[in-house]
Chain A
């Protein structure tokens, strides 16, 4: 039952915060405390292992299992969430009831994420997965009064939901192929079902972790408040994808295309994201692009089979990325803008600058930082299985280092001692904690931690000394070029044509392409169909009605003024046809059809009076009828 703790505690936090909505500060503190307790709960659950299951219905069960990488992840989530929550205390966000909404949403979000992490079957996973997506909509669109933010939230949700469809498919294929949705049962899959399951998982993961071509949604996600971004990018939403791959990678072991595809996807995004980060001038977008790039690195590692290293890097990334976001948040708050051009707050905010720098060094994978250690692990594994890719990762350090250093210099580089808003205690503590954790990861490399390391990562290959040297050299080159640019005063513009800078920074136009090739066509198709629906699909019904009326005119007036009716009916039909074939608006068509009906009606009413009847027509009817009767009864008996 301990496995429920990491789930229930944040849920409880949400409830408590909601009940304290009149007192935002108390709500926030209670939530922070409970999230802190969640860390302990998760540790207990991870230590105890085991799982629970619950009948869902129709012969399906939900499972929660603390096993494998889920145990690490379950701890990591509240470990990041608690400091983020503490950061809100004195940091960004309105101090009114709206802030409680933020707190409650974050707690719910953490609970959903824990559900995802501890899921033992595809259904539970899907539930957590979708809930995380939906709550991210609420979080990103938190400041809903500004038109743009809810729209960005929708983009984020819809893009990731597109990926979710992959999970639906995977679940369907798993049930069809293995008769069960449980993770253990998936190993019995083979044939087409296995391919579908893997493809589905891959699509879901790629969309969630903003791999190419889904990357642009992460920019949209920047519309959320900084703490939200910190949480989404480090240990929750985006991390869920890498987590899923790590958790289920064994499935793809014997499927030829899976590893290379994952690796290829990762490698591409690693480079593309790095380049985008290098040229971006928006502080949060640099970090967003960097997130894509870093998850690309993890995908690459998973694709190469270095699962443990990928997991380790996921943890390290969670620490330094949340640290960087929160630090950036302080800077943005102080500078009043997200544009890097006007920051340089090193002198004004020295403490934050140091904390931020620690994060940046870890991001750049400088040896002896968390990121450095875990990236070395990946490189080492890669060099063993696929040397070219190993070298590529080493080389990518150039890009990573470049944007990490550039960001640090631009945001917290030496500048004037301005009087700006100072971070509050909550911010300081949470940044400090995360900085500590970023550095502490490096302890894995210490000989003392050898046992722990072996338990967590297995016998992953060690990085050779020359690799370290190469890494350092690459970083030096990166630092040198940043310094050179800095001296030239071209650190913001990078001396690039502004168009190039914009295109590269905006994912090489991928977002516009999606709008142009996907969103607009869908909307257009919808509008066209709606028009067709109004005009054409219903036209059959309307025509039948009009024809009925016209016929009624003829028949009702038959023997009275048949010719009139015929003419009116024919006119109605021809005019109706003529108009419906024209591209008139639906109102016009509707109006014309109905207008004609009205006119015929009025015309007919004159011919309907009894007095106008002529009896000889009645004889004609009777005579014709008799002939018809004879014909039928003789010929058709």
Chain B
């Protein structure tokens, strides 16, 4: 137990407090300084995390927290997302006189997601989920006067309350079975005879985590938030929870006996329903943000495939992390374009964008193509690894379903791309300052480079254990 093991988390915590104090103290015209501060904090945490990449993997704080590859990589993805989100949001909230607080909440929300990724104890997990959720509700509703944002946040909250409650109950059940809440303890103490109770408990916890993942059955908030929340926050919320919660879910599943709990078919069910539901529902959306929300549900489904392959394929963990990286970057790029275009939202508004603003159109097109999984973008290598892992795990049907879903997904992406490229523009496209543009560009370059140079990333991910001994 070294304090250094949780240095990034401490940086975030302390930094969050500093940002909050600054926001409270600073006059209106200096509120923008909060975003700079937040950037510094997030960057510092990221740098600290990077330096930890080559330390020995270990469990710390009485086995409640992991310092290992999956956690660190997940943290990097989360922190990177948060950094880009800050860049996307500077102009968006410029008219808000009290925007400094937003950045404090953003940092705390990031902390919640980071803790999710590292948690190896169910109580710890619950704390992380709650921290992440509570802050997320605020971020979603930050436009206080917007009815839409308010409604989205309220639904978000109501659904979160239900699923978090379920998660608490599940944790209690597991504690009753094993007498401990640490994953190490669960791995040793869950008796095969207690089959259906353990299964119920896992299902309840998985329900709670599926809320953060944004997958079936706790997915309905995703499209609402994507459409209603401030666009930069929508980008943030659809990504970070996914990253943290999927790593947590993977850890939990991997310690439970698969033959007793049946988590593999359960997760396969979640994956299958999520991807199918998300894709089909996205098909007829007219609102680009809502479409991105549904697409996020389906992407969560793809990512869950990696969990199905846990322990059966060496590719499972690398596939999960790589896919999440690819998804995070493409999602940020897509929302980045929306932000840059001042929140342009209806499909028909994008008509002729390619003529007037070829770079923005190109960014959106590339991010969509990465979502589809067109090579050589990162989304392709991610899907390939996922498919390979799933097939190796004996879930060929799931891979086939995912392939079929990919075909369906082309339908709605093309519904945006086609008018964007093939129609004449009816008017001009007013855009906001370049910061969002640069952030978008970084994200695009990110998923293109990660696609072409997949080796560098995958090499680092292969062989990471989910629970260090």
Tell me if B196 and A608 are in contact (CB < 8 A). Answer: no
Tell me if A633 and B265 are in contact (CB < 8 A). Answer: yes
Q: Is A604 an interface residue when CB atoms closer than 8 A count as contact?
A: yes
Residue of A nearest to B159 (CB): A618
Q: Is A552 an interface residue when CB atoms closer than 8 A count as contact?
A: yes
Q: Is B163 an interface residue when CB atoms closer than 8 A count as contact?
A: yes
Cβ contacts under 8 Å, A543 to chain B:
none
Cβ contacts under 8 Å, A559 to chain B:
220
The CA-CA distance from A480 to B206 in the complex, in Å, is 111
Tell me if B284 and A604 are in contact (CB < 8 A). Answer: yes
Q: Is A252 an interface residue when CB atoms closer than 8 A count as contact?
A: no
If the complex has contacts A552-B280, A610-B227, are A637 and B216 also in contact, measured as CB distance less than 8 A? no
Say which one of A124-132, A161-169, A322-330, A621-629 lies at the interface with B. A621-629
The residue from B154, B155, B216 contacting A625, defined by CB atoms under 8 A apart: B216
Tell me if B217 and A605 are in contact (CB < 8 A). Answer: no
Q: Is A415 an interface residue when CB atoms closer than 8 A count as contact?
A: no
Residue of B nearest to A552 (CB): B283
Q: Is A636 an interface residue when CB atoms closer than 8 A count as contact?
A: yes
Residue of B nearest to A619 (CB): B162
The CA-CA distance from A626 to B204 in the complex, in Å, is 7
Task: Fill in one digit per residue for B45-69: 1 if any A CB lies within 8 Å of its CB, else 0.
Answer: 0000000000000000000000000
Shortest distance from the beta carbon of A621 to any chain B beta carbon, whole Å: 6
Q: Is A601 an interface residue when CB atoms closer than 8 A count as contact?
A: yes
**Considering residues B158, B196, B265, B408, which has the most beta carbons from chain A within 10 angstroms of its beta carbon?**
B265
Shortest distance from the beta carbon of A402 to any chain B beta carbon, whole Å: 75
The CA-CA distance from A637 to B204 in the complex, in Å, is 16
Tell me if B148 and A637 are in contact (CB < 8 A). Answer: no
**How many positions in chain A have a CB within 8 Å of any CB in the partner chain?**
35
Tell me if B217 and A613 are in contact (CB < 8 A). Answer: no
Cβ contacts under 8 Å, A71 to chain B:
none
Q: Is B141 an interface residue when CB atoms closer than 8 A count as contact?
A: no
Cβ contacts under 8 Å, B199 to chain A:
630, 633-634, 637
The residue from A552, A556, A629 contacting B207, defined by CB atoms under 8 A apart: A629
Q: Is B262 an interface residue when CB atoms closer than 8 A count as contact?
A: yes
Shortest distance from the beta carbon of B302 to any chain A beta carbon, whole Å: 17
Task: Fill in one digit per residue for B285-300: 1 if any A CB lies within 8 Å of its CB, else 0.
Answer: 1110010001000000
The CA-CA distance from A578 to B263 in the complex, in Å, is 44
Q: Is A551 an interface residue when CB atoms closer than 8 A count as contact?
A: yes
Shortest distance from the beta carbon of B206 to any chain A beta carbon, whole Å: 7
If the complex has contacts A555-B281, A556-B285, A618-B155, are A636 and B265 also in contact, measured as CB distance less than 8 A? yes
If the complex has contacts A610-B224, A615-B155, A630-B200, are A555 and B163 also in contact, measured as CB distance less than 8 A? no
Shortest distance from the beta carbon of A82 to any chain B beta carbon, whole Å: 64
The residue from B155, B262, B285 contacting A633, defined by CB atoms under 8 A apart: B262
Task: Fill in one digit per residue for A524-568: 1 if any B CB lies within 8 Å of its CB, else 0.
Answer: 000000000000000000000000110111011011000000000
Tell me if A632 and B266 are in contact (CB < 8 A). Answer: yes
**Considering residues A632, A633, A634, which has the most beta carbons from chain B within 10 angstroms of its beta carbon?**
A633
Cβ contacts under 8 Å, B270 to chain A:
629
Q: Is B260 an interface residue when CB atoms closer than 8 A count as contact?
A: yes
The CA-CA distance from A558 to B204 in the complex, in Å, is 23
Shortest distance from the beta carbon of B272 to any chain A beta carbon, whole Å: 10
The CA-CA distance from A157 to B387 in the complex, in Å, is 55
Q: Is A611 an interface residue when CB atoms closer than 8 A count as contact?
A: yes
Cβ contacts under 8 Å, B285 to chain A:
556, 608
Tell me if A629 and B158 are in contact (CB < 8 A). Answer: no
The CA-CA distance from A618 to B148 in the complex, in Å, is 17
Cβ contacts under 8 Å, A548 to chain B:
280, 283, 408, 411
Tell me if A634 and B262 are in contact (CB < 8 A). Answer: yes
The CA-CA distance from A632 to B258 in the complex, in Å, is 13
If the complex has contacts A632-B266, A633-B203, are A626 and B166 also in contact, measured as CB distance less than 8 A? yes
Tell me if B228 and A625 are in contact (CB < 8 A). Answer: no
Tell me if A622 and B207 are in contact (CB < 8 A). Answer: yes
If the complex has contacts A633-B199, A633-B262, are A625 and B207 also in contact, measured as CB distance less than 8 A? yes
Tell me if A618 and B220 are in contact (CB < 8 A). Answer: yes
Residue of A nearest to B224 (CB): A610
Task: Fill in one digit per residue for B143-158: 1 if any A CB lies within 8 Å of its CB, else 0.
Answer: 0000110011011001
Cβ contacts under 8 Å, B408 to chain A:
548
Task: Fill in one digit per residue for B188-207: 1 if any A CB lies within 8 Å of its CB, else 0.
Answer: 00000001100110111011
Tell me if B258 and A637 are in contact (CB < 8 A). Answer: yes
Cβ contacts under 8 Å, B151 to chain A:
610-611, 613
Residue of B nearest to A551 (CB): B280
If the complex has contacts A618-B158, A622-B159, are A629 and B203 also in contact, measured as CB distance less than 8 A? yes
Q: Is B221 an interface residue when CB atoms closer than 8 A count as contact?
A: yes
Tell me if B203 and A618 are in contact (CB < 8 A). Answer: no
Cβ contacts under 8 Å, A630 to chain B:
199-200, 203
Q: Is B353 an interface residue when CB atoms closer than 8 A count as contact?
A: no
If the complex has contacts A556-B284, A610-B148, A630-B200, are A618 and B221 also in contact, measured as CB distance less than 8 A? yes
Cβ contacts under 8 Å, A556 to chain B:
280-285, 294
Task: Fill in one digit per residue for B74-90: 1 if any A CB lies within 8 Å of its CB, else 0.
Answer: 00000000000000000
The CA-CA distance from A635 to B266 in the complex, in Å, is 10
Cβ contacts under 8 Å, B273 to chain A:
625, 628
Q: Is B269 an interface residue when CB atoms closer than 8 A count as contact?
A: yes
Cβ contacts under 8 Å, A608 to chain B:
284-287, 290
If the complex has contacts A610-B151, A622-B159, A626-B203, are A632 and B262 also in contact, measured as CB distance less than 8 A? yes
The CA-CA distance from A619 to B165 in the complex, in Å, is 13
Q: Is B259 an interface residue when CB atoms closer than 8 A count as contact?
A: yes
The CA-CA distance from A133 to B290 in the complex, in Å, is 66
Shortest distance from the beta carbon of A367 to any chain B beta carbon, whole Å: 83
**Considering residues B216, B221, B228, B284, which has the most beta carbons from chain A within 10 angstroms of its beta carbon?**
B284
Tell me if B284 and A549 are in contact (CB < 8 A). Answer: yes
Residue of A nearest to B152 (CB): A610
Q: Is B365 an interface residue when CB atoms closer than 8 A count as contact?
A: no
Q: Is B218 an interface residue when CB atoms closer than 8 A count as contact?
A: yes
Cβ contacts under 8 Å, A618 to chain B:
155, 158-159, 220-221
Cβ contacts under 8 Å, B310 to chain A:
none
Shortest distance from the beta carbon of B41 to any chain A beta carbon, whole Å: 33
Tell me if B148 and A615 are in contact (CB < 8 A). Answer: no
Q: Which of B204-254 contact A (CB under 8 A)?
A: 204, 206-207, 210, 216-221, 224, 227-228
Residue of A nearest to B216 (CB): A625
Tell me if B284 and A601 are in contact (CB < 8 A). Answer: yes
Tell me if B217 and A555 are in contact (CB < 8 A). Answer: no
Shortest distance from the beta carbon of A597 to any chain B beta carbon, whole Å: 10
Tell me if A622 and B162 are in contact (CB < 8 A). Answer: yes
The CA-CA distance from A615 to B152 in the complex, in Å, is 10
Cβ contacts under 8 Å, A633 to chain B:
199, 202-203, 261-263, 265-266
The CA-CA distance from A618 to B163 in the complex, in Å, is 11
Q: Is B277 an interface residue when CB atoms closer than 8 A count as contact?
A: yes
Tell me if A626 and B207 are in contact (CB < 8 A). Answer: yes
Tell me if B224 and A626 are in contact (CB < 8 A). Answer: no
Q: Which of A580-637 contact B (CB under 8 A)?
A: 601, 604-605, 608, 610-611, 613, 615, 617-619, 621-626, 628-630, 632-637
Cβ contacts under 8 Å, B154 to chain A:
615
The CA-CA distance from A617 to B221 in the complex, in Å, is 11
Residue of A nearest to B197 (CB): A634
Tell me if B277 and A625 are in contact (CB < 8 A). Answer: no
Residue of A nearest to B155 (CB): A615
Tell me if B195 and A634 are in contact (CB < 8 A). Answer: yes
The CA-CA distance from A626 to B282 in the complex, in Å, is 23
If the complex has contacts A610-B227, A618-B158, A629-B207, are A637 and B283 also in contact, measured as CB distance less than 8 A? no
Interface residues of B (CB under 8 A from A): 147-148, 151-152, 154-155, 158-159, 162-163, 166, 195-196, 199-200, 202-204, 206-207, 210, 216-221, 224, 227-228, 258-266, 269-270, 273, 277, 280-287, 290, 294, 408, 411
What are 11 contact pairs spanning A and B, CB under 8 A?
A: A548-B411, A549-B284, A610-B227, A622-B162, A622-B217, A625-B273, A630-B203, A633-B202, A634-B195, A636-B265, A637-B264
Given contacts A605-B286, A611-B148, A618-B155, list 4 more A-B pairs with CB under 8 A. Answer: A556-B284, A610-B228, A613-B224, A624-B217
Listed from nearest, the 9 A-B pairs whose CB atoms lie closest are A625-B217, A637-B262, A552-B283, A633-B266, A633-B262, A556-B281, A636-B265, A618-B220, A629-B203
